[in-house]
Chain A
């Protein structure tokens, strides 16, 4: 360290901060006290609400199942012609009769 640095350090050391109020620490501690009680109550309320809401939460597979069912229903509504009742039963009869006729023709 050179002389100019030493002089500067002496000068800097002469600076003393205005002391803080004697009760600064006590004031901070006091300000935090009521919040601690409030905090515990607030934490309790928060946990209760969280637990209450969590009882309504479905697991993820349930969402997937519900979504696929919903999509299935929507597709079903969009294609009303597609149902078991409207399957072309008549065509099957035709097919059978045509098969029978073909067999008869074969033997003839």
Chain B
């Protein structure tokens, strides 16, 4: 009989549906860093990223039936989708809160943002300034190593739309860092 460590994510999910806490622990230990990395690169805020991962896993524990093995989807692809949606929701919430702030508070927020950006590298700042969906497309395909089809599935868009997002994101970054296309002809 296979130990929990040897079991696939999908096998662990079946055990989690039967309230097996050890299976849940194994799944969390196996994947928490990977999902944290995605949410960090989306939000560029450590505590928010950790909260997203924690809440998503706890949601999975409370409602394991949300994952349906009949659909034959990989657990990681499905969970990436949950993380992505949670990040989108948090960003939406934050942006609506910022618009409701009075001017003094807004200045304070800007100062805080400047301080936090000082700790980020130039590429992180550039990534953070990209539109949300372009950033997510780059994150999934470049950093998480998903295929274009998988990333499109996670984001709930068509393959061509994803390719376009990646292309536009890369073009913006190349512009910002003065990476010229004419170098190609050298």
Contacts and interface: CB of A to CB of B under 8 A. Distances in A.
B180 interface: yes
A75 B179 CA distance: 88
Interface string A14-49: 110110110011011101110110011000000000
Contacts, number: 95
A28 B35 CA distance: 13
A39 B52 CA distance: 22
A50 interface: no
Contacts of B6: none
A101 B32 CA distance: 106
Interface stretch (A3-11, A65-73, A79-87, A90-98): A3-11
A12 B123 contact: yes
B44 to A, nearest CB: 9
B32 A20 contact: yes
21 contacts: A4-B174, A7-B177, A8-B170, A11-B179, A12-B143, A15-B124, A17-B40, A17-B49, A20-B46, A20-B49, A21-B50, A24-B33, A25-B28, A28-B54, A29-B28, A29-B29, A31-B54, A32-B57, A33-B21, A35-B58, A39-B19
Interface of A: 2-5, 7-9, 11-12, 14-15, 17-18, 20-21, 24-25, 27-29, 31-33, 35-36, 39-40
Interface in B109-145: 121, 123-124, 127, 138, 142-143
B41 to A, nearest CB: 6
Nearest to B24: A32
B57 A28 contact: yes
B58 A31 contact: yes
Contacts of A11: 123, 173, 177, 179
B61 A35 contact: yes
Q: Chain B: interface secondary structure?
A: helix
A104 B178 CA distance: 127
B181 interface: yes
B104 interface: no
Contacts of A14: 121, 123
A3 B28 contact: no
A22 to B, nearest CB: 10
B32 A2 contact: no
Given A25-B32, A28-B28, A40-B19, A7 B53 contact: no
Contacts of A2: 181, 183-184
Contacts of B53: 20, 24, 28
Given A11-B123, A20-B32, A25-B32, A3 B25 contact: no
Contacts of A21: 46, 50
Interface string B25-37: 1001100110011
